[in-house]
Amino acid sequence: MTLIVYSEKCTGCGACVEACPFGVLSLEGERLVIGEGCTACGACVEVCEAGALALAEAEGPSPRPEVPPDGIWVFAEQRHGRLAPVTLELLGEARRLAGELAVPVAGVLLGDRVAELAPELFRAGADKVYVAEHPALAEFVEGPFTAALTEMAARFRPEILLAGATYVGRAFIPQVAAALRTGLTADCTAFAIDRERRLLLQTRPAFGGNIMATIITPRTYPQMATARPGVFRRLAEPYADAGQVVPVELSSLQEPGPCTFVGTVEEVRERLPLSEAEVIVAGGRGLKEARHFRLLEELAELLGGAVGATRAAVDAGWIPYSHQIGQTGKTVAPKLYIAVGISGAVQHLAGIQSSDFIVAINKDPDAPIFKVADIGLVGDLFEIVPALIAAIRRDRG
Amino acid sequence: MKIIVCIKQVPETDKVRLDPETHTLIREGVQAIINPFDLYALEAGLRLREARGGQVTLLSMGPPQAEAALREALGYGAESAVLLSDKAFAGADTWATALTLAHAVRKLGGADLIVTGKQAIDGDTAQVGPMLATVLGVPYVAWARKLTLTDDTVLEVERLLDHGYDALRVRLPAVVSVVKEISEPRVPSFKAKMQAKKAVIPTWTLADLGLDPREVGLAGSFTQVVRVFPPPARGASEVWTGDPQELATRLWARLKELGRR
């Protein structure tokens, strides 16, 4: 799409200049100038009363082909036979979208001996499960995973392909999109279907979460997106006990490829990864010393949660990087996020904005964290947190 | 060793906001900076060059003013820089960006290693690096915290995934993205900064890259932004003050209501 100006209709009123979210429109005298950076979002077209602006289909890479036959695919991320929770969340979301499009949902398992996971995918919402098993897929390496998923998508042709925006998903799904010559939207937090145009509307945060954007892939298939873990809901009831399992023989895996797995050098040893925790207790600069994280661990343990940290706390060496939440670390979406001694830098807030409920404990009443917190407690964390731990203990006897 | 480091000029994101009423981007006081994650990529590139010899070339696509970011980055000690700038590149999505960068890499005669930051702080997509690798037909490894060249053809990588850190061995040429654990960016030396000031940074246009206008920018993009809007406001905040004991008891009562037992 490109923005077109019918200059004979333009009255030079400037309404479009005001409305442009990217500030790329300007008036030179009465002549409207479209500057660099226009995304053809159409905001100006909506406000133009003179009808002087329109979006025209640009000559794209190709006209929109026929709708492919194979419905919605969800990449079923797993490691050593254990499914990533986002897989089940996405199957739940895929069911909802599939209902609107009247298409089936398929899960795609890549690994070495992973077929036994198929029933879990049927319960979570899949009608069909593709299984590609190969020793080169035993551990995650971008090359073989890209080759496998690209080959399968090219062969069976899904209309939509979704994956979790995990480290794994974000490492290789862009390569699959590029290989299939189609669009990809990163780290989505909402999906909808435009029924009229039969398009997947993909909504995601940008600019550190200060702006939301809705994106489409209008001309190519599959329409691809990665989705933020913890945001979408898995089905409340099991969908099916069984379904069609489709084993796939791959022809595209090179052996040995140019990139090989050597070994895992360090397993993060938390009992509960941040990406899977329903409760996260996180600490920032206000904790003052490494040993005070013990306080947060105690609270997290009582609440069945995990411990997170800000960049400041990690940079101070109080806690390893694997705990870091925010733009430079992990993005989380727990049901409950307790921010302790965290002022709320925008980079940190970007990583927690999808949390259901945020509690902030900070002694500075002007800390930005209080603006996003559902409940903010102004006070000394070294008094409040121990009192909270004591209150929970007392209550539980 | 030919190393290319990709650089993006970005607005300082903590300043970028949409006016909640007019839905327009508030641009006042928004400074353009080098994407902070790219400085880690640059540091990684410089260290490999120092270990093995060779040269580091900086590559960026953006409006003419993105030259400032390249010049600043040159001050860290890279040998050369190229800016890809053309009106036709405007509005590019990650695919069209990767395709344009790939043509520039080929025009540069290829590279042994291309290093990128983990993502850019404006778009946060982390997609251009892997797509670039695919267009070039070379392997890609994401989220490296450690890069070691065993010789000029094999790179050992330690990289972050959700479960921890894996070691991989990749035959060059390749594209890798690095996380901030790779090593703290250096402070630019005075000498390098002075040299950067005088450096000639060529600008390559569509014609220089031999691309068709339909392949780049908005026209060559597979995705399209249809709407931008401010994030949904969170529910009203309650702010409690008072005796810490009471605050704690009250909080626990509320958390229990929310289902935390």
For B48-79, what is each residue's pLDDT tens digit? 999 999 999 999 999 999 999 999 999 999 99
Minimum distance, in Å, between the CA of residue B88 and any CA atom of chain A: 9
Positions of chain B with pLDDT lower than 50, given as ranges: none
Residues of chain B contacting A23 with CB distance shorter than 8 Å: 24-25, 27
What residue of B is the nearest CA neighbor of A16?
A: B24
Domain spans of chain A?
2-56, 72-247, 274-396
pLDDT in tens, B72-103: 999 999 999 999 999 999 989 999 999 999 99
A2-56 against A72-247: fold identical: no
Q: Nearest by CB to B126, which of A41, A186, A353?
A: A186
Contact state of A268 with B163 under an 8 Å Cβ cutoff: yes
Contact state of A395 with B252 under an 8 Å Cβ cutoff: yes
We report the CATH number of the domain holding residue B38 as 3.40.50.620
DSSP codes of every residue in A62-77: S---PPPSS-EEEEE-
pLDDT in tens, A156-182: 999 999 999 999 999 999 999 999 999
Q: What is the mean pLDDT of residues A343-364?
A: 92
Beta bridge partners of A324: A309
CA atoms of B142 and A141, how far apart (whole Å): 9
CA atoms of B168 and B147, how far apart (whole Å): 10
Query: What's the token pair of residue A357?
Result: 């409920």
pLDDT at A11: 85
Domain extent, residue B107, equals 2-215
Residues of chain A contacting B17 with CB distance shorter than 8 Å: 207, 210-211
Q: A72-247 has which CATH code?
A: 3.40.50.620
**Does the CB of B225 have a partner CB in chain A at under 8 Å?**
yes
Q: Nearest by CB to B14, which of A184, A347, A379?
A: A347
pLDDT in tens, A42-83: 888 888 888 888 887 654 445 678 999 999 999 999 999 999
pLDDT in tens, A104-137: 999 999 999 999 999 999 999 999 999 999 999 9
CB–CB of A396/A387 below 8 Å? Answer: no
Place of tokens 């998903």: A169
What confidence category does residue A360 fall into, taking pLDDT thresholds of 50, 70 and 90? very high
Domain-located, residue B28? yes
Residues of chain B contacting A41 with CB distance shorter than 8 Å: 225-228
Query: A2-56 belongs to which CATH class?
Result: alpha beta
What φ, ψ does residue A342 adopt, rounded to 5°?
-115, 125
What residue of B is the nearest CA neighbor of A302?
A: B261
Query: A274-396 belongs to which CATH class?
Result: alpha beta
pLDDT in tens, A198-208: 999 999 988 87
Domain-located, residue B231? no
Q: Which of residues 15-44 of A touch B (CB under 8 A)?
A: 18-23, 36-43
Residues contacting residue B160 through CB under 8 Å, at least 6 positions apart: A167, A322, B143, B144, B145, B179, B181
CB–CB of A314/A320 below 8 Å? Answer: yes
Domain-located, residue B223? no
**Does the CB of B233 have a partner CB in chain A at under 8 Å?**
no
| ipTM of predicted complex | 0.93
Give me the number of domains chain B comprises. Answer: 1
